[in-house]
Structure 1
Amino acid sequence: MEIITKIKMSSLPLISIIIPVYNTEKYLSKCLDSIINQTYKNLEIIIINDGSTDNSFTICGKYAMRDDRINLINKENKGVSSARNQGIDEAKGLYISFVDSDDWIELNTYEVLMNCVLNHNLDAVIFEYFINFENGKELFTSYSNLNGMISKTKAVEITISPVNRFSVSKLYTKEIISDIRYQEEIYYGEDTLFACQALNNADRIYYYATPLYHYLQTATSATRSNFNINKLTSIEAYSRLLELCEKKYPSISLIARAAYISIIINMIIEVLASFDFPNSKAILKKLTQKLRKNLTLQLLIWRIPLKDKFKFLLCYLNPQFYNFAKKIIASNGNE
């Protein structure tokens, strides 16, 4: 049932859209156009310019002059989590959404999501997304067996998995995020941690199995950039996720542990690839110890894919040899 079309737009709940901006002048207009032209009009558009050094703030200012729904905030550069947190503090809407400034959304995104919310009295909606590349290529990976109401446990499981781990592919009531914020000391994985903590506060969650968000992968995307020391904070993010699951969702604790171990292995591989990095030997030793402490027999005999079991075990035994084997397989085009 389409509720939106039967209610005056001014009577519909306000959605606050939080957009952190940092040096994205090349993509910013496409992002903002997709938001100001939404078919759902009752929006508060909060743009936080996080100390951009390019033309981003000027572009945002021009949009703010055109659309009085835009609240433009200019601040010194403190990172995306700080910007998002300031946006949450400023938000007046009953519902909260996040959009990154190099991404864009379908023009009916909030109309579709609010129809779900109003039909089912929801605390959160998880929706699917495209992965877009600058060469025009577009990918879509779906949880094809899901569509409709889901349990809190399933929602957290989905978010821990690689398929839908972003906080931008969700709509939240302001109530469920009132007591949480992005962890500003965590630079990678903070997105997934925030989303899981928010879903932990929700009771009624809906999975909408249609992509509405366009996630742009660029050469400088945070998850694709070269190794830096801040990437190690992703281990802390997934450690907290593992703790949450072991405490609240024991049925998916092995999934959380597998995700945690995958992050450790990814960091081991990145350190090996950047071995001239300061203290790399000490970092590698500490990561290997952490891997060996957390890789249990129970996990190895659990129903994870054989490829992952091989990866976990080989990296456990000899990270350098695993990295060498991985390069050989990749060079043969089999990975």
Structure 2
Amino acid sequence: MDFPKVSVIIPIYNSGNYLIECLDSVINQTLSEIEVICIDDGSTDSSFDILKDYANNDSRFKIFHQENLGAGTTRNNAIEKVSGEFIIFLDSDDWIEEDMCEKLYNHAKKLDVDLVVFDAIWHHKDYDEVLCYFKETEFNQDYESFIFDKFQIKEKIMEPSLGVIWSKFYKTSLIKDNDIKFSSYKIYNDVGFHFKSILSADKIAVLPEVFYHYVNVGQQSLQSSFRWGEYEPIWYDVMMDLREFLTFNNLMDDFRKEFINYSFLSFINKFNGIHEDYKEIFYTKIKYFYESLKLTSDELKKLQFNYMVFYIHIINSNSYFEFKLMHDLFNGENIY
């Protein structure tokens, strides 16, 4: 095989028994012209031994080992090694349908697009949740031939539940020609990649079938263990990166409304969830974010009520203590 049609990128860190189901779902793909780039990110369990077994039996597996650098840097290193025409990202504790690569490749080639979005299932402990980009009749189009761009899905681009990298089939040239990379943040290192890739794509298609199985049962990722503590204020850096990208690429005017709403939705959610020990530093970052964003009076009038309240309290307080006092009084909470 000279040039694989699809490169499957799998970063691995202490994946244990989940890794076997993941790799089996790749090795059994109905499309044989694939390469599987596996980078072990300093695992201390048997993960790398498992990778070696697969590589010994299938030449399509390319395995690498590195000291622990984090998921973002690991995926960047994998992209540099890609030779396939398209890329999918697969977490080592998840798995994919056996016809995923074949169907997505054929769909992307037929329509000559930069990106294909598709459906996934999120497996929770007690229930399964289907993540769909579009309802079957949402565009009133035949998805077998329908091509669209970022301006037709403005609100969906900044829909938190859809901002994941594992429900997208990327043309390699889209990523490499635009020099799109993952951040090295401890958490949220894939958020910027999602935004930059979908905002850089000229032609997007959808194949409304479930191909990816995201497993959220019985294990905790290294990134998720960092949530709600000292690393949570990294979200400010993520939002500033997105803001800079939109501005630099002359997209802010087109997406400013969606960006503003997304900022409030995400900041409020994360500020409410963060541990009390880190609220003050997060407050300071959020205050600067909105002071420098300079919302107009018309933009303020269009905000949801809870967003406007949050904004007024942030802008008009001089410290986290003052903000909390305003917020508690407004909500009728006992502040003593």
Q: Under TM normalisation by the shorter chain, which class is it? A: 0.7 to 0.9
Structure 2: gaps (5+ residues): 317-322
- In structure 2, do the counterparts of structure 1 residues 282 and 23 end up closer, same or farther at CA, with 3 Å as the change threshold? same
Q: Does 1:129 align with 2:120?
A: yes
Scaled by the length of structure 1, the TM-score of the pair is: 0.81
1:152 pairs with 146, 150, 153, which one? 150
- In structure 2, do the counterparts of structure 1 residues 30 and 22 end up closer, same or farther at CA, with 3 Å as the change threshold? same
Tell me if the contact between 1:159 and 1:166 (Cα under 8 Å) persists in the aligned partners: no
Scaled by the length of structure 2, the TM-score of the pair is: 0.80
Partner of 1:212: 211
In the TM superposition, residue 77 of structure 1 has moved relative to its aligned partner by 0.4
Report the RMSD for the aligned CA atoms in angstroms. 3.1
Report the Cα distance in structure 2 between the residues aligned to 1:180 and 1:32, rounded to whole angstroms. 28
Tell me if the contact between 1:156 and 1:200 (Cα under 8 Å) persists in the aligned partners: no
Tell me if the contact between 2:4 and 2:83 (Cα under 8 Å) persists in the aligned partners: no
Tell me if the contact between 1:295 and 1:312 (Cα under 8 Å) persists in the aligned partners: no
Aligned-pair identity in percent equals 25
Partner of 1:254: 257
2:128 pairs with 118, 123, 138, which one? 138
Tell me if the contact between 1:28 and 1:101 (Cα under 8 Å) persists in the aligned partners: yes
1:102 pairs with 67, 89, 93, which one? 93
- In structure 2, do the counterparts of structure 1 residues 69 and 263 end up closer, same or farther at CA, with 3 Å as the change threshold? same
Aligned letter for 1:201?
S
Aligned residue pair count: 312
Tell me if the contact between 1:189 and 1:237 (Cα under 8 Å) persists in the aligned partners: yes
- In structure 2, do the counterparts of structure 1 residues 15 and 325 end up closer, same or farther at CA, with 3 Å as the change threshold? farther
- In structure 2, do the counterparts of structure 1 residues 11 and 26 end up closer, same or farther at CA, with 3 Å as the change threshold? closer
Q: Larger deviation: 112-121 or 76-85? A: 112-121
1:270 pairs with 270, 273, 281, which one? 273
Q: How do residues 1-335 of structure 1 correspond to structure 2 at under 5 angstroms?
A: 14-133=5-124, 135=125, 137-142=127-132, 143-144=134-135, 145-146=138-139, 147=143, 148-154=146-152, 157-178=155-176, 179-218=178-217, 220-221=220-221, 222-223=223-224, 226-246=227-247, 247-248=250-251, 250-271=253-274, 274-277=275-278, 280-291=279-290, 294=293, 296=295, 297-302=297-302, 318-319=323-324
In the TM superposition, residue 39 of structure 1 has moved relative to its aligned partner by 1.1
Report the Cα distance in structure 1 between the residues aligned to 2:330 and 2:163, rounded to whole angstroms. 28
- In structure 2, do the counterparts of structure 1 residues 306 and 207 end up closer, same or farther at CA, with 3 Å as the change threshold? farther
SS at match of 1:203: coil
- In structure 2, do the counterparts of structure 1 residues 170 and 215 end up closer, same or farther at CA, with 3 Å as the change threshold? same
Aligned letter for 1:254?
K
Structure 1: gaps (5+ residues): 1-9, 329-335
Report the Cα distance in structure 2 between the residues aligned to 1:48 and 1:168, rounded to whole angstroms. 17
Looking at secondary structure, tell me which structure has more helix per residue.
Answer: 1
Report the Cα distance in structure 1 between the residues aligned to 2:283 and 2:227, rounded to whole angstroms. 16
